[in-house]
């Protein structure tokens, strides 16, 4: 039940962030982006009227003003916020590697009878830190050693738990992966819509009015540009998170072997 509640809390918080970002970016578009794009376009039209052969310039506001671009930016910003939260969590977990959680004096060994005492020390950690990977691995090793009195069993448990924790950390990236996937997908929606508008205006273009075709192609190219640019950033960020997680788990396994497994002694 507690696991399910944590899952609901995690999903609710992440969806809440998405809602807040949607509102904030919508306000920004209403106040800044779309008025800026309209003002820039009006200026370009005025210049074109008095300057024969003038080729209009493009502004950032015009490139991102479309509905698909707005949706893409919302999803991409959401994914970046989730990435920042994950990086902060990994940094907090890595800090525990420099902390002496076991509080073992130099030269002291751990016998099976001492496992319960050291488990109590781990249970005294703050609630958030108890759910981190380091205490979970240490606790699993101590429980196994206390039950079997075999150092090899504890070492095998450390390896197995680290593998399962690596899988768990990777699974928690599912919603972030959705954001990375949705970013280019929304851009391609704009691409298809723009091409559709351009094709719909083909008949007018044959009569000399190319505004519908150029407008549709503008939507297509702008949405593709925004989506692919943001997608490159997000894919790189996702790979960095995966690398940081893998390094964290490997360092935790090494830390446990050095700080705990090497101290275990079974009297035999």
Q: According to the model, what pLDDT value does residue 5 have?
A: 64
- pTM summary value: 0.85
Q: What is the per-residue pLDDT across 29-65, written as a single tens digit (0 to 9) for each?
A: 999 998 988 888 788 777 767 777 666 677 888 888 8
Q: According to the model, what pLDDT value does residue 209 have?
A: 55
Which residues lie below 8 Å from residue 114, measured CB to CB, with a gap of 6+?
Answer: none
Angle between helices 115-123 and 133-148 (to 10 degrees): 160
Closest CA to 253 of 142, 162, 146: 162
Domain boundaries, the chain: 1-65, 76-263
Alpha helices in 96-132 (DSSP H): 115-123, 127-130
184, 231 Cβ separation under 8 angstroms: yes
Q: What is the per-residue pLDDT across 78-125, written as a single tens digit (0 to 9) for each?
A: 999 999 999 999 999 998 888 777 777 777 888 888 888 888 888 888
């Amino acid at each position: 039940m507690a696991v399910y509640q944590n899952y609901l809390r995690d999903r609710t918080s992440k969806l809440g962030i998405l809602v807040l970002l949607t509102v904030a970016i919508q306000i920004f578009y209403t106040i800044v982006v779309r008025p800026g794009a309209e003002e820039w376009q009006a200026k370009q039209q005025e210049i074109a009227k008095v300057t024969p052969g003038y080729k209009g310039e493009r502004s950032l506001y015009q490139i991102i003003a479309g509905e698909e671009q707005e949706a893409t930016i919302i999803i991409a910003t959401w994914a970046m916020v989730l990435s920042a939260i994950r990086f902060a969590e990994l940094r907090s977990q890595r800090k525990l590697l420099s902390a002496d959680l076991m509080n073992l004096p130099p030269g002291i060994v751990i016998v099976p009878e001492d496992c319960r005492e050291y488990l109590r020390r781990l249970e005294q950690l703050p609630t958030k830190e108890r759910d981190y990977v380091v205490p979970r691995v240490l606790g699993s090793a101590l429980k196994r050693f206390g039950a079997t009195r075999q150092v090899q069993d504890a070492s095998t448990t450390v390896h197995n738990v680290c593998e399962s924790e690596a899988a768990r950390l990777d699974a928690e990236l599912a919603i972030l992966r959705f954001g990375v996937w949705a970013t280019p997908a929304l851009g391609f929606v704009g691409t298809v819509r723009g091409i559709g508008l351009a094709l719909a205006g083909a008949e007018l273009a044959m009569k000399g009015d190319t505004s519908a075709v150029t407008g549709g192609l503008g939507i297509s190219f702008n949405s593709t540009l925004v989506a692919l640019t943001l997608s490159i950033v997000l894919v790189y960020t996702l790979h960095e998170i995966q690398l940081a997680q893998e390094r964290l788990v490997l360092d935790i396994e090494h830390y446990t072997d050095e700080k705990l497994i090497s101290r275990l002694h079974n009297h035999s």
